[in-house]
Amino acid sequence: MVVDNRFAGRTLRVGLLGCGQVSANHVKAWSRLNDAKIVACCDPARDRALNRAVEAGGAAVYEDADEMLRREALDAIDIISPRHVHAENLQLAARYGVDALCEKPLCPTYPEAQSLLDSIAGIIRIMVNENWRFRPYYRKIGEWIAQGRLGRVVHYRVALYRSGLIPDAEGRIDAIVRMPFVANEQRYLIAESLIHEFDVARSLVGEMNVVASRVARVSPAIVGEDTASILLESKDGVSVSVAGALMAAGFSSRAGDRLEIIGTRASAVLDDAQLSLLGPEPERHVFDEEAVRQGMFDDSIKHFVACLRTGEPFWTDATDQLATLKLVDEAYALAGSARVLSNFKS
């Protein structure tokens, strides 16, 4: 183990860049560490930065990222800004020599991400916060596969069904209330949500390519796709199906994955945060989905800090993210323009 002596014997000084909704989960995760502390919060909207600074225990407040990095002598930066400025913020971090944790995606597209990494290669360490891998039910499935309990995996199917784009009685659309920016995203369901399912599938069954893809839009409140079906194939020949729908009546607005992994010895089924191993040695595990949502931030940020201190590679480093972004781009390229299903009635 190679220990990074820059951080030996002291608490890491962390800057938060971007103080929107999801940053609340980040602040909670950082506050649970004993060897790292948020000392500064930055957002163009000062009130948002101030709110997170209070939650972080009295951090300094900035509206300009360059000023924060110039004045605070940071050890690391946690980038939670909109995806289209991730590259700009990472280049800024590289200019100051500050290692970074960056919310997914690294960049909106694969070519942009590759260009970014080519420009700052070797200057700083970057981990992408693909924290769905850290969810305990996926970690348990990974253990089963590594132990050979599923035998040869032959089929993988996952679906994300949510009702977050269906207006409620007052016309409120939960997905847009929580994240207003998604209403105008040209790439929505795959780029914002199913990217997680691609990444988890890669971590469990290996690298893959997209074979076929179809996308559609049902909701009149957005411009991007809200329905998708993608067929992929792993390098080992495993058929992988990824699907999603954000106007799925009867499902909650933040429902988790429905997953089936079929093996020659046993199969794994995940539904409503209940994980079952079906076969000669059955198991069943029930998870608290709310605890899982915060826990994945806790565990990914803990991993980031641990790897900074030891020098070990990040599980979800920037180079690894390139393979997931490649799948996202392939899915959009094969799907073409989204079909508009215009007969929607609220």
CA distance 204 to 87: 28
Asked whether residue 262 falls in the same domain as residue 280, the answer is yes
Asked whether residue 73 falls in the same domain as residue 30, the answer is yes
Write down the pTM of the prediction. 0.94
* Number of domains the chain contains: 2
**What's the pLDDT at 181?**
85
**pLDDT band for position 345 (cuts 50, 70, 90):** low
Residue 344 has pLDDT above 60, yes or no: no
* Contact between 231 and 210 (Cβ < 8 Å): yes
Tens of pLDDT, residue by residue over 9-51, are: 889 999 999 999 999 999 999 999 999 999 999 999 999 999 9
**What's the pLDDT at 35?**
95
Asked whether residue 44 falls in the same domain as residue 69, the answer is yes
**Does residue 88 fall inside a structural domain?**
yes
Tens of pLDDT, residue by residue over 52-61, are: 999 999 999 9
Q: What is the DSSP secondary structure assignment for residue 194, as one 8-state letter?
A: I
* Contact between 40 and 62 (Cβ < 8 Å): yes
Residue 116 has pLDDT above 60, yes or no: yes
**Does residue 154 fall inside a structural domain?**
yes
CA distances from 264 to 227, 259, 271, 277 (A): 31, 17, 21, 13
Residue 342 has pLDDT above 80, yes or no: no
DSSP output for 52-70 = HHHHTTS-EEES-HHHHHH
**What's the pLDDT at 182?**
87
- CATH number of the structural domain spanning residue 232: 3.30.360.10
Percent of the chain with pLDDT over 90: 90
Tens of pLDDT, residue by residue over 303-317, are: 999 999 999 999 999
* Contact between 83 and 89 (Cβ < 8 Å): no
Q: Residue 169 burial by CB count (10 A; 0-12/13-18/19+): exposed, middle or buried? A: exposed
Residue 4 has pLDDT above 70, yes or no: no
Last residue of a domain, one of 103, 124, 145: 124
Asked whether residue 23 falls in the same domain as residue 146, the answer is no
Asked whether residue 65 falls in the same domain as residue 181, the answer is no
**Does residue 13 fall inside a structural domain?**
yes
Tens of pLDDT, residue by residue over 160-182, are: 999 999 999 899 999 998 888 88
Asked whether residue 270 falls in the same domain as residue 217, the answer is yes
**What's the pLDDT at 152?**
97
* Contact between 230 and 148 (Cβ < 8 Å): no
**pLDDT band for position 240 (cuts 50, 70, 90):** very high
Tens of pLDDT, residue by residue over 200-219, are: 999 999 999 999 999 999 99
Token pair belonging to 194:
């199913």
Range of the domain at 156: 133-288+326-340
Asked whether residue 180 falls in the same domain as residue 95, the answer is no
| Mean pLDDT of all residues belonging to the chain | 95
**What's the pLDDT at 343?**
58
Tens of pLDDT, residue by residue over 267-317, are: 999 999 999 999 999 999 999 999 999 999 999 999 999 999 999 999 999
**Does residue 304 fall inside a structural domain?**
no
Asked whether residue 179 falls in the same domain as residue 202, the answer is yes
- CATH number of the structural domain spanning residue 62: 3.40.50.720
**pLDDT band for position 328 (cuts 50, 70, 90):** very high
Asked whether residue 148 falls in the same domain as residue 204, the answer is yes
Asked whether residue 114 falls in the same domain as residue 137, the answer is no
Strand blocks (E) in 75-223: 76-79, 99-103, 126-129, 153-161, 208-217
